[in-house]
């Protein structure tokens, strides 16, 4: 600090600010330069809330609601304003449960003696807008962990009391809004005045709070995802049956020595669901093409192996087909907007060859299957021939499996489409759901490091590109699946923890990926560790930690 205060560099400008200046004060100076609302600061490569005061010289930049982290802070803060509105109207008689992300909305349910009617949602909506208009500061307080446990137990928030029971740190951060307090996993916006754009809509047994997306000052259209909703609710119901709805409850079961039982029950439940799908396929008789698609790190490869075993148990003869073997030769691969090969676009597949091969197989003709050589970027033929008999089926794995442009000329009744994704069935607590993308990212970090020699830093750096590909090539088609399969395991994050933590700690503080690594480390810190020895060799988790009995 100089004689007059702290020197702050913003882009090419360097200014001195007096002691006590907040990041919000500085943000006000630059607000006109941004189309979207500034909600967070990045100071010396560390994420900071705007209400925090500047306490050192350094380099400053800002995040808006158009940035991923800014968008998450906005939505997280919206949840607290929703909680506050419900508390103002109904006290502790009605409790909010924040459950799943659906499109650009957050699905919620209310526990209590009130039906989720249109009138009730209108009351809550009106109260939220009053709170927004009042522009109430959202304050962060650090309190002792024991005090936090006592406080939330007194509030009837036992989910949070259980979470903090296993916290190693002696202190936790809680947020307050006009006297109302809660804990949140992640940063918040400075005040309720930022939270202008939302809509509440009845949906199934609860309601959806809908947020803006790319246009940050307009609420997105809500596109219903009924199959996704019911798949998520099925997983939540099973977790409830297991009495493991939150991380705190999972940790309690680990402490009680029930890990082996949990693993065996989870794998039995997964095998039951795979068997049920195989039975459905076998009963329909005319299915020849089993198309499996899903986002990165969903466990597609292991799932296809386990599905093949179940299909055999039902009298069918499955043949695995990798769609990657039908890539066009490298020089014909389309380029993305950055001039890089776009291996995830549909045009990276030789659709004519793929469709012709499948048509010939359906007609009973013998075909030679290609193999793609990833080293030289060319298709090769190695004398692998295939001809389908009456009980033969093809199990085809690839990201475009749900796209109607694939196998468009084949009769629809010959195709069975499966969408697979890791949809985490437990929450941090009742107001902090676990983003399904975090679970998949941790899976991928571990797999890439141990099976591909890729650093966590590189995997995280590539993740946004992977996610963009999923948004374009996979998610728009998920509702076209005949069935959805959830590959998330209720015990997997405590197992992945021991593999992921050293990889994340290896990312240096000056790395652009350090903020993401730090956030994931904080997340993993919630879990007690579970050794991997009890995990079965046919488990989907083995695809990521090694030791699988399948060739993955």
One-character DSSP codes across 46-100: EEEETTSBP-S-EEEEEEETTSHHHHHHHHHHHHHHHHHHHHHHHTTSSEEEEEE
Rounded-to-integer distance, Cα 386 and Cα 364, Å: 10
- Domain identity same for 249 and 343: yes
Count CA atoms within 13 Å of residue 428 on its CB side: 19
DSSP 8-state secondary structure symbol assigned to residue 207: E
Q: What is the pLDDT of residue 468?
A: 87
Query: For the chain, what is the domain count?
Result: 3
478, containing H or E segment = none
- Domain identity same for 277 and 397: yes
- Domain identity same for 58 and 127: no
Strands 392-397 and 317-322: parallel
Contact 380, 373 (CB under 8 A): yes
Q: What is the CATH number of the domain that holds 156?
A: 3.30.980.10
- Domain identity same for 158 and 239: no
Q: What is the CATH number of the domain that holds 14?
A: 3.10.20.30
548 in any annotated domain:
no
Residue-wise pLDDT tens for the chain (552 aa)? 555 789 999 999 999 999 999 999 999 999 999 999 999 999 999 999 999 999 999 999 999 999 999 999 999 999 999 999 999 999 988 999 999 999 899 999 999 878 899 999 999 999 999 999 999 999 999 999 999 999 888 888 889 989 999 988 899 999 999 999 999 989 999 999 999 999 999 999 999 999 999 999 999 999 877 899 999 999 999 999 999 999 999 999 999 999 999 999 999 999 999 999 999 999 998 999 999 999 999 999 999 999 999 999 999 999 999 899 999 999 999 988 888 888 888 999 999 999 999 999 999 999 999 999 988 999 999 999 999 999 999 999 988 999 999 999 999 999 999 999 999 889 999 999 998 899 999 999 999 999 889 999 999 999 998 898 898 899 999 999 999 999 999 999 999 999 999 999 999 999 999 999 999 999 999 999 999 999 999 999 999 999 999 988
- Cα 179–Cα 181–Cα 182 angle in degrees, nearest 5: 165
Nearest to 26 by CA among 4, 67, 58: 58
Q: Which residues contact 272 (CB under 8 A, 6 or more apart)?
A: none
Contact 414, 288 (CB under 8 A): yes
Q: What is the pLDDT of residue 329?
A: 94
Q: Which residues contact 145 (CB under 8 A, 6 or more apart)?
A: 164, 167, 169, 170, 171, 172
- Domain identity same for 264 and 384: yes
550 in any annotated domain:
no
Q: What is the CATH number of the domain that holds 523?
A: 3.40.50.300
Contact 361, 256 (CB under 8 A): no
Both structure tokens of 74: 């906005």
Could you say which of 64, 81, 106 is where a domain stops?
64
Q: What is the pLDDT of residue 1?
A: 54
Residue ranges of E strands in 277-424: 289-293, 317-322, 367-373, 378-386, 392-397, 415-421
> Which residues form the domain of 22?
5-64
Could you say which of 223, 250, 283 is where a domain stops?
223
Q: What are the backbone angles phi and psi of residue 454, rounded to the nearest 5°?
A: -95, 135
pTM of the model: 0.91
Q: Which residues contact 347 (CB under 8 A, 6 or more apart)?
A: 328, 334
3-state secondary structure at position 289 = strand
Contact 248, 159 (CB under 8 A): yes
- Domain identity same for 301 and 253: yes
């Amino acid at each position: 600090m100089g004689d007059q205060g702290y020197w702050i560099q913003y882009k090419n400008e360097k200014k001195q600010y007096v002691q006590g200046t907040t990041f919000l004060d500085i943000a006000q100076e630059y607000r006109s330069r941004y189309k979207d609302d500034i909600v967070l600061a990045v100071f010396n490569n560390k994420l900071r809330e705007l209400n925090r005061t500047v306490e050192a010289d350094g380099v400053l930049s800002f995040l808006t609601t158009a940035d991923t982290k800014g968008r998450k802070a906005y939505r997280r803060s919206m949840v607290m304003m929703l909680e506050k509105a419900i508390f103002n109207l109904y006290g502790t008689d009605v409790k909010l449960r924040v459950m799943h992300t659906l499109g650009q909305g957050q699905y919620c349910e209310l526990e209590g003696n009130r039906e989720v009617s249109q009138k009730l949602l209108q009351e809550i909506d009106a109260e939220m807008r009053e709170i927004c208009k009042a522009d109430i500061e959202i304050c962060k307080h650090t309190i002792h962990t024991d005090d936090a446990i006592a406080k939330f137990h007194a509030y009837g928030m036992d989910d949070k009391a259980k979470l903090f029971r296993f916290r190693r740190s002696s202190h936790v951060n809680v947020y307050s809004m006009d006297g109302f307090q809660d804990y949140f996993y992640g940063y918040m916006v400075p005040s309720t005045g930022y939270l202008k754009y939302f809509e509440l809509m009845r949906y199934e047994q609860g309601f959806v709070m809908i947020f803006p997306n790319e246009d940050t000052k307009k609420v997105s259209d809500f596109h219903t995802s009924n199959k996704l909703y019911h798949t998520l609710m099925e997983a939540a119901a099973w977790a409830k049956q297991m009495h493991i709805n939150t991380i705190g409850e999972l940790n309690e079961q680990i402490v009680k020595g029930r890990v082996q039982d949990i693993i065996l029950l989870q794998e039995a439940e997964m095998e039951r669901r795979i068997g049920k799908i195989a039975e459905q396929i076998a009963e329909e008789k005319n299915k020849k093409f089993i198309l499996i698609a899903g986002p990165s790190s969903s466990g597609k490869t292991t799932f296809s192996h386990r599905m093949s075993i179940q299909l055999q148990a039902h009298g069918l003869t499955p043949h695995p087909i990798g769609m990657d073997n039908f890539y066009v030769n490298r020089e014909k691969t389309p380029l993305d907007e950055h001039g890089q090969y776009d291996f995830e676009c549909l045009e990276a597949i030789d659709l004519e060859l793929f469709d012709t091969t499948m048509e010939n197989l359906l007609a009973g003709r013998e075909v030679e299957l290609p193999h793609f050589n990833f080293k030289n970027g060319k298709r090769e033929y190695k004398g692998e021939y295939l001809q389908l008999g009456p009980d033969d089926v093809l199990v085809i794995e690839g990201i475009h499996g749900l796209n109607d442009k694939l196998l468009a000329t084949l009769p629809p009744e010959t195709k069975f489409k499966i969408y697979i994704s890791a949809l985490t069935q437990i929450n941090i607590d009742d107001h902090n759901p676990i983003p399904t993308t975090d679970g998949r990212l941790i899976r991928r970090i571990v797999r890439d490091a141990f099976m591909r020699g890729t650093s966590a830093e590189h995997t995280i750096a590539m993740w946004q590109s992977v996610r963009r590909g999923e948004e374009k090539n996979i998610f728009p088609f998920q509702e076209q699946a005949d069935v959805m399969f959830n590959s998330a395991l209720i015990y997997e994050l405590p197992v992945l923890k021991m593999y992921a933590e050293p990889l994340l700690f290896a990312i240096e503080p000056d790395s652009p990926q350090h903020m993401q690594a730090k956030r994931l480390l904080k997340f993993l810190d919630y879990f007690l560790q579970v050794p991997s020895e009890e995990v079965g060799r046919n488990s989907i988790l083995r695809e990521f930690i090694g030791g699988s009995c399948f060739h993955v």
